[in-house]
Amino acid sequence: MTGGRARLLLSGYYGFDNFGDEAILRVFVEQWRRRRPQDDVTVLSAAPRQTEDAFGVRAVARMSRSAVVEALAQADVVISGGGGLLQSSTSLRSLAYYVGVLYQAQRMGKRTAIFAQGIGPLSPLGRLIARGACRRLGLAIVRDAASARILCALAPALDVRTGADPVFAADLGTSGAAAERLAAEGIPPRGDVVAIVVRRSRLLDRMRVALAALADRFMTHYHAQVVFVPFQRPGDVAASITVIQACRSAPVLLGGGYDLPTMAALFARCSAVVGMRLHALVLAAATGVPFLALAYDPKITALVEALAYPLAPPDAGSLAAAADRLWADRAGLADAARAGAARQRALAEQSFDWLAAWVEGSLS
């Protein structure tokens, strides 16, 4: 297939208005067009028309069996990812969907790959569901070392390569329109701003009161404006409100629904970020902003380790002390985040190079 046109089918959590997954898709399309502009890209999406309008690709309804089978039949290559798709912590139903797409593609004789995925956690049943499809993959590129270990145990003969999250490869230049939107949301032009990003999770249930006290501390002790940023509506809005209701101060809840340039502009404006969402931490590191990670899932710890970031995720009891360290050592932590992001960017770029070479049949 070297030099010829390939038809790619991309399977992921697309069309759900989740900032991280939409950012992954945006970067995938941009990076792929730089490498192989002749290729056709089709995306399985929960909102096909929205995906087509936003990214200039063909999209089909991910839950329409006939549409998916037709898209698989037309594809040369089926790519699962990026994101955290092969895991059973969300549900076995979700895992079965993504594995099912791979199984069907493999039964139809299509070349299949995993790209920029975080693998796990997987229950014993989840491992059983995933193992067969993983063993028949042509290539697997994962976003962290922990995922590589899980996948190598599932499929010892598989070519598994460790890359990085695609969003590290994004061009984060911001536009005037993005800055104008943030101003309309009430982001002050000067002074310290701290972004807090939370999501529904058991960790939020345990940390809600401590996080509210943390927001109060940033506002009253450090005189920073605190903004809660939803990465997926309405879930993150509801999660943010539960914390804000426990605050003594008055943090701002932003509207959300931002694209990658707008979110990058927001994070670049921040003095610090406190985040549960993986891509809140990716953006913080990529924009050189010190952050405090809240590890609701092993992928958060894996990212902190991949960045070699010196501030470990705290538990509820050590949250205040970690926040004080974050504020006191902002310059040093920003340098560490920036250096880690540079390494991850190189790995993300290499991940696209590996995938392009595999599609061409020239991967060594």
Q: Which residue matches tokens 């499809």?
A: 133
Closest CA to 116 of 149, 161, 79, 82: 82
Tokens standing for 295? 């590890």
Average pLDDT, integer, range 189-199: 94
Question: Cβ of 259: how many Cβ atoms within 10 Å?
Answer: 15
| pLDDT for 364 beyond 90 | no
Domain 7-162, CATH among 1.10.150.20, 3.30.390.50, 3.40.50.2000, 2.40.30.10: 3.40.50.2000
Helix (H, G, I), strand (E, B) or coil at 130: helix
Q: Given the DSSP bridges, would you call strands 225-228 and 291-293 parallel, antiparallel or unpaired? A: unpaired
* Nearest CA among 155, 163, 161, 118 for reference residue 137: 155
- Give Cα 193 to chain centroid, integer Å: 23
The pTM is what?
0.96
* Domain boundaries for CATH 3.40.50.2000 within the chain: 7-162, 176-344
Other residues' Cβ atoms within 10 Å of the Cβ of residue 274: 27
Q: Is the pLDDT of residue 1 over 60?
A: no
Residue 90 one-letter amino acid: T
- Which residues are within 8 A (CB) of 200 and not within 5 positions of it... i.e. 6 or more apart? 235, 236, 238, 239
Summarize pLDDT for 6-29 with one digit per residue, the tens.
Answer: 999 999 999 999 999 999 999 999
Count, residues in the chain = 364
Give the DSSP H or E segment for 195: strand 193-197
Give yes or no for a contact between 341 and 286, defined as CB atoms under 8 angstroms apart: yes
Secondary-structure class of domain 176-344 per CATH: alpha beta
pLDDT tens per residue, range 139-177: 999 999 999 999 999 999 999 999 999 999 999 876 667
Structure token digits, residue 120: 């796990």
pLDDT tens for 263-319 read 999 999 999 999 999 999 999 999 999 999 999 999 999 999 999 999 999 999 999
